[in-house]
Amino acid sequence: MPDWLTHIVIAAVVGELFSVRKKSLLFFGALLPDILPKLVLLRLFIPLPALDYTLLSAFHTPFVLFLVTLLIAPLFRYRYKIVVALITLGALTHFVSDALLQHFSGGVALLYPLSLKHYTLNLVWPEQSYLILLPALFMYGLILIVKRENREAKNYGTRRTAKAD
Ligand SMILES: [Zn+2]
């Protein structure tokens, strides 16, 4: 997995591209696939029953995470469909950016439960996630600049027509 900062920046790029207003839901969705499988780390702080926690890795698949999203969406004080759509979009950015990496475990089971095949593009090692972060930061900055230029051009046009009237 790329580090969580990289996941957040990629989600921010997608949020700016689609002009998403509730970016927090997008960011939540971008981190959720990694948060749920790591719930087992709670045993470092509190005693947990001796169970097989490898099942938690199922949360790191798009299908299971979508089911979780359907269940947790009512917890948010926003329209249900929008919450589901934004968390799912954020999670998709997570799975796609995870698929860019080289994995020891074979990649991401993108089509689970239809297929157990793990997919990966084998582009960068997880410790090289700056190779994803830096272009993502550049794209984010570029999108912000272009959006600001467009907004200023629109405002300038509005002011000119208001002056002409
Ligand atoms: Zn991940």
| Per-residue pLDDT tens over the stretch 91-128 | 999 999 888 877 777 778 888 888 888 888 878 887 88
Q: What is the DSSP letter of 77?
A: S
Inter-axis angle of helices 80-99 and 4-17, nearest 10: 120
- Cα 22 to its chain centre, rounded Å, is 13
Q: How far apart are CA 108 and CA 121, in angstroms?
A: 10
Q: Return d(Cα 31, Cα 6) in angstroms, integer.
A: 10
**pLDDT score of 111:** 83
Ligand 1 center–CA 96 separation, angstroms: 9
pLDDT in tens, 145-165: 999 999 898 888 777 776 666
pLDDT of 84 reads 97
Residue 130 CA to ligand 1 centre (angstroms) = 15
98 CA from centroid of ligand 1 (Å): 6
pLDDT of residue 165: 63
In this structure, the dihedral spanned by the alpha carbons of residues 86, 106, 127 and 121, taken in order and rounded to 10 degrees, is: -70
Determine the distance separating the centroid of ligand 1 and the alpha carbon of 33, expressed in angstroms: 6
Cα radius of gyration (the chain): 20
Q: What is the mean pLDDT of residues 21-30?
A: 94
- Taking the centre of ligand 1 as the mean of its atom positions, its distance from the CA of residue 165, in whole angstroms, is 56
Q: What mean pLDDT value characterizes the chain?
A: 88
Among 104, 97, 102, 77, smallest CA distance to 12 is for 97
Ligand 1 centre to CA of 155 (Å) is: 41
Contact in structure between 89 and 30 (CB atoms under 8 Å): no
Q: How far is the CA of 160 from the centre of ligand 1 (A)?
A: 50
